[in-house]
Amino acid sequence: MLFDREDDDFGSDAATRALSVTAVETDFMARVYAKQACWYDLWFGPTLHHGRLVAIEHMGIAPGDRILETGFGTGINAALYPRNCHVTGIDFSASMLDKGRDRVEQKGLRNIRLLEMDASHMMFADDSFDIVYAPYLISVVPDPVQVVKEMRRVCRPGGKIIVLNHFRSASPIFSRFERAISPFTVHLGFKSDLDLPGFLAQAGLQPISIKKVNFPRLWSLVTCIKD
């Protein structure tokens, strides 16, 4: 089984229940990340790097693969990709993406192109990518289900959809705590109480693996294959 059902939150209502107690607007998150652009790497770089490394490993990138990274941000992942694949990075925050462009240029990464774009309304044709990846993005966006539906649309049949994110704990004690602090964590750029089973059910995703990453292991790497 992929889930530990330690409480009744992991029940049959996953497809209809609210994913978080906190609602956010795109403009609000854009302002949060505009403020974070100058220090994001210092705060979230080392802390979340283990998950990034595991995600790249799970992609199984082949030469010539077309990869879409949604929420490219400051480009922390940029140098982790093999040079023989083609990476498209998108982000809604112009401030974060400016940092990403600087990093790509400084490292001479000619296999990466960057576009300012809303992940919930992507300007790509269906089946455009072999791998579609959302690192630490899903708990940031106003409508995570819509974002993943777009990720699925632009991924080719048989391609991989990979989500790296923090989700609400299965533990009743930690779950209540995460719900309580979620209205405050959005000011740091994320919702702390996003419900994983509900998210997967509502997005229509069937994961082939869910792996805990980072230290402490509070984040999940969810790997799916588009059928």
Residues 134, 71 contacting (CB under 8 angstroms):
yes
Tell me how far apart the alpha carbons of residues 161 and 110 are, in angstroms, rounded to a whole number. 24
Residue 2 lies in a domain: no
Residue 7 lies in a domain: no
The mean predicted confidence, pLDDT, of the chain is 90
Residue 9 lies in a domain: no
pLDDT of residue 188: 80
Q: Residue 132: which of 176, 86, 69 has the closest Cα?
A: 69
- Structurally, how many domains does the chain consist of? 1
Q: Scanning the structure block, which residue is given the tokens 């799970």? A: 58
Residue 60 lies in a domain: yes
- The low-confidence residues of the chain, meaning pLDDT below 70, are 1-12
Paired strand residues for 212:
220
Residue 10 lies in a domain: no
* DSSP designation for 204: T
Residue 21 lies in a domain: no
pLDDT of residue 22: 79
Residues 103, 78 contacting (CB under 8 angstroms):
yes
Q: What is the CATH number of the domain that holds 75?
A: 3.40.50.150
Query: Tens digits of per-residue pLDDT, 3-32?
Result: 443 334 445 578 887 788 777 777 777 787
* DSSP designation for 115: E
Cis peptide bond prior to 46, omega within 30° of 0: no
Tell me how far apart the alpha carbons of residues 139 and 215 are, in angstroms, rounded to a whole number. 19
Residues 164, 139 contacting (CB under 8 angstroms):
no
Residues 207, 222 contacting (CB under 8 angstroms):
yes
Domain that holds residue 192: 26-225
Dihedrals phi, psi of 111, to nearest 5 degrees: -95, 10
pLDDT of residue 12: 55
